[in-house]
Structures are given as C-alpha cells and as structure tokens.
Chain A
C-alpha cells in the first residue's frame, strides 16, 4: 500500500487536529492567532507539495486514490483557497460568540475532503470525500447559530445537501449494478461498450444530479442564494471557491476519465445545463438588493460558465476550467474580504451601504470595483482571460456540433446582462448620492496583505496568463480523455 501518495492530506488532517487541541489551551484573546497559525501551516504544506514528483500517476489504496498532475493542481488550488479563507475568517471571527478555533480546524478538515476529492478514483472515495466536505459545511454555514438566518441557511443546506447525497448514492448503486465495478479505470473499460445500458445511464444521471448540487448548476441551484446570504461571510467565500471547485474536480474526473463514451453522448444535455445556468444566475441577480445574495446568484452564473468547459468535452475546455477557477478564487476572496470589512458593524448587507465608499475607504472601494470588473470579465483582469479561454474552447468544438454556437451566444448574452448588476455595484460605490451614517473602517495588516495578494494576482493572471495556462494544460493531460 502506497500511503505516502496521500502525504499532503495526512499533513492537513494533522494540522487540523493540532489546531483543535491548541484551541483548548489558548486564551480567548489569542484565538485569532490560531487562524494565522493554520494558514502558516498550510503555506508550509503548499511549499512541500512542490517536492512531489508526478511524472507518472501514483495509485494507492487499491486504485481508489490516484495522485497525478490533475489531482496535484487541484490540491494546490484548494490549499491556497483555504489559506486565504482562513485569513479572512480571522477578520470575521470576532463575530463568533465562541469556538473560533473550531471554525479554523473545521475549515482544515473540509480542505482535506476537497484534497481527497481531487484524487478520487473510486466511487467510495468520491462519496466519502464529498460527504466530508458537505458535512463540515453544514457546521460552517450555521456557525453563527445564535442568529436565525445563519441557522436557517444551515438547515436548508442540510436538507437539500442530504437529498442530493441520497441521489448520488443511489446513482452509484445503479452504476455499480450495471458495470460491477466502482473503480474508475475499470469503469472506463466496462462503460465503453455499455453506452446504451439504461441502468448505467440512469445511474450516471443521478450522480450528475448529486454533483450538480455541489457546483450549484441548474436545476440543482435552489439552495445557493439562501445559503450564500445566511452563512457567515467567510463560509460564503469558501462555498463559492472551495466547494464549487471540488464539485468540478469530481465532475471532470468522472466524465472524462471514467465514462468518456457516455459523456460524449451527453454533450447536448451538458450544453443545455450550462446555458440555462448562465441565464438563470444572471437574470435572477438583476433585481437583488442584498450584496451576498447577489453574489450567490452571480456564483450560479459562474457555475454556468464553468459548465461550458465541461460541455466542450475537450482538453482545452478542461484547462480553461482550471484557469477560470484560479482567477475566480482571488476575485471572490477579495470581494468577500471587502464586504466583511465594510459591513463589520452593520447587521444588514444591502448594496446601498456601499454608497460613497470611495470617500470613506478609497482602497477598499478600488478593490471591490476591481473584483467586480474581473467577475464581469472585462480585460485585462483574470476574469476576462478565463472567459476568453472557455469561449475559445467551446468555439473549437463548434465544427463538431453547431449547437456550440448557440452556447457561445448565450454566454455572451449572460456577460452583457451581468454588466448591469456588477456596474450597479460600482455605481453605488462611486456615484450614489445618499450618505448613510457610517462607522470608521479599520483594515488590519492581515487583511491588507490578503487584499494586495488578491489584487496583484488578479492583474497578473489577466496580463501574463502563460505560466498558469501551461500548468493547467499539463494538469488536464493526465485525465486521459
């Protein structure tokens, strides 16, 4: 047995346990340092991940677990995401009445689930890692349990999440029944000549439903706005980047490595899902007045754009997904950190509270405007280049299937709609006349560092995309599509 392949996950779990124990002996005043400590630990683990060599895929636990370039890319992505989320939750943890140490260690356990998901090569690991993420998120979403909205968000996530797990599991059972295996390599060999088997198709559809819930794609997106609005801000950011990316990692591994023949015949279905998700997310975001709810709908729209990469069914499409997720990560973290800082003292999160922000805090106003521009996909920021790569990957496939032109048209319409609400936010920041009674905004050194890192990377990824693009394309090559 090759346990050393999962050394990164083991390190993350150990770090989580250490933080949980350290929490017992840390006086309340210093609890926020636990968050900084866990982020520092993750930085070490991230540095350690560069010593791993994956020229050849390494399999462990009887083929359940695979460490290849694709898995390693996602592991690094998740580590960076969790590191940033931990740092912004240090800022937010003042709101927790108790248990901020637990919040940090739970985030680390969720991270370990995401990292296992990146390596899942068997339905058992897929299910267990997905549940590890989801169950931890039930707690993280309802962490402000003295506020009814947080609790309500947690319970809604719980019921719908458990429902989607049930579908996923029943789908796994049916696929297992049809093919007699749960291991992805064996499944690949088996499924090639069973593309017409109804048992396999129904099972895969149910699995698609379960994963569609994680990435909040239509028609499994109902939970997203409520949960995004009600959760603690740092959890919302984590949901938007971590949980969504884990869903995509699993979806890509499953569709492209395990059942490529079925996936190819599903192109119209995936295209339809992508198109409706884009339109639904963007149209529903238009009338929103609550900033977090708006970002919830916008994240549905972004799930739609990312689904385009899956629907393209090509290595370029998958590479574009990896690139898009990386750009999205820094943008979303920056946006949520500004929201946390600006709305620290007020309970509500209405957009109107951003009015005249550029006078109170020009730096934060600029940051939020920058991230909105990147989310909207305006050059030269990371969001633009990600969208460009996705659209190019889809257009490349248009010679195979003319419906791809329609998908591109829908995506462009979606981007245009999204300009309205993203620029609505920017307008409120700079030109809204109404001045509210506003508290002074204090930006701690940690937040300052996070904001700078996000801003620099947002611009860097937009202007000099080559290095990340190369990393993404080497990563997707190991999908063997």
Chain B
C-alpha cells in the first residue's frame, strides 16, 4: 500500500534535487530548471496532503502555483534571453559587474 509518506519522500527528494541544481550548476537555464523542480516538489506535497487530509484546498492551490510558475518562467526566460543577447552567454560566472 502506498501511503502519504511515500509521496512526501518523493517530494522531498525532488525538492533537494532541485536545490542541488540551483546551488551546483553554473548555467542559468539549468538553474532555472532546478527552481521549477522545487516548485513541482511542493505541488506534489500539496496534492498528497490534500488527498490524505480529505480537503480540496491543496489541489486548488496547485492550480494557482502552476499559473504563477508559468508567469515566472515567461519573465525569467525573457530576462535570460536578454542577457544572452548582451553577453552571448548564460553562465553565472559572467554575472560579475556588480561589486563593492
């Protein structure tokens, strides 16, 4: 029988994987994928809790999150494209103009 804890373990794994991507990878696109993975980990947790709490709030929340994440991706990718036009690169190592 698959219980709540299985879903939560998968969700926590996804969240950590996403965070490792954000911390370890040097490419903005891959970092961004990591961030999306983290949001979806939260979505999975919400749906699982919703199912096992017998309330629909969590599932409704997921719809909001998906919409917001789409808006965030639209703006974020536009920014990354604008950076690429300027610098011909999407590596974080090139983001070093702002310093003391």
Segment at the interface with B among A48-56, A175-183, A258-266, A332-340? A175-183
Output the least CB separation between B69 and chain A (Å).
9
Residue of A153, A182, A290 touching B57 (CB-CB under 8 A)? A182
Instruction: Evaluate whether A166 and B57 lie within 8 angstroms (CB atoms) in the complex, with A128-B64, A138-B75, A176-B46 already known.
Output: no
B residues within 8 A CB of A148?
86-87, 97
Residue of B42, B82, B87, B95 touching A172 (CB-CB under 8 A)? B42
Q: Does A166 contact B42, Cβ atoms closer than 8 Å?
A: yes
Is A311 in contact with chain B by the CB < 8 A criterion? no
Q: Does A154 contact B79, Cβ atoms closer than 8 Å?
A: yes
A residues within 8 A CB of B83?
151-152, 155
* 6 A-B contacts (beta carbon < 8 Å): A127-B64, A128-B68, A135-B72, A159-B28, A165-B72, A226-B98
Q: Mark out the residues of chain B between 44 and 100 whose CB falls within 8 Å of any chain A CB in the assembled complex.
A: 45-46, 48-50, 53, 55, 57-58, 60-61, 64-65, 68, 71-72, 75-76, 79-80, 82-83, 86-87, 95, 97-98, 100
Residue of B64, B95, B98, B100 touching A287 (CB-CB under 8 A)? B100
A181 to B53, CA, bound (A): 9
A residues within 8 A CB of B35?
159, 162-163, 166
Residue of B22, B46, B55, B100 touching A180 (CB-CB under 8 A)? B55
A327 to B98, CA, bound (A): 30
Q: Does B45 contact A177, Cβ atoms closer than 8 Å?
A: yes
B residues within 8 A CB of A46?
none
Is B17 in contact with chain A by the CB < 8 A criterion? no
CB-nearest residue of chain B relative to A130? B68
**Residue-by-residue, is A305-330 near B (CB-CB < 8 Å gives 1, otherwise 0)?**
00000000000000000000000000
B residues within 8 A CB of A38?
none
Output the least CB separation between B8 and chain A (Å).
8
Chain A interfacial positions (CB closer than 8 Å to B): 123-124, 127-128, 131, 135, 138-139, 142, 145-146, 148-149, 151-156, 158-159, 162-163, 165-166, 169-170, 172-174, 176-177, 180-182, 225-226, 229-230, 287-290, 293
Chain B interfacial positions (CB closer than 8 Å to A): 8, 11, 15, 18-19, 22, 28, 31-32, 35, 38-39, 41-42, 45-46, 48-50, 53, 55, 57-58, 60-61, 64-65, 68, 71-72, 75-76, 79-80, 82-83, 86-87, 95, 97-98, 100
Residue of A173, A182, A229 touching B98 (CB-CB under 8 A)? A229
Output the least CB separation between A205 and chain B (Å).
14
Majority-rule SS of A interface residues: helix
Q: Does A165 contact B39, Cβ atoms closer than 8 Å?
A: yes
Q: Does B55 contact A151, Cβ atoms closer than 8 Å?
A: no
A149 to B50, CA, bound (A): 43
Instruction: Evaluate whether A131 and B98 lie within 8 angstroms (CB atoms) in the complex, with A158-B79, A176-B49, A177-B45 already known.
Output: no
Q: Does A169 contact B39, Cβ atoms closer than 8 Å?
A: yes
A residues within 8 A CB of B61?
123-124, 127, 172, 176, 182
Q: Does B68 contact A127, Cβ atoms closer than 8 Å?
A: yes
B residues within 8 A CB of A131?
68, 71-72
Residue of B39, B64, B68, B98 touching A149 (CB-CB under 8 A)? B98
Residue of B41, B68, B76, B87 touching A158 (CB-CB under 8 A)? B76
Q: Does B58 contact A288, Cβ atoms closer than 8 Å?
A: no
CB-nearest residue of chain A relative to B8? A177
B residues within 8 A CB of A226?
98
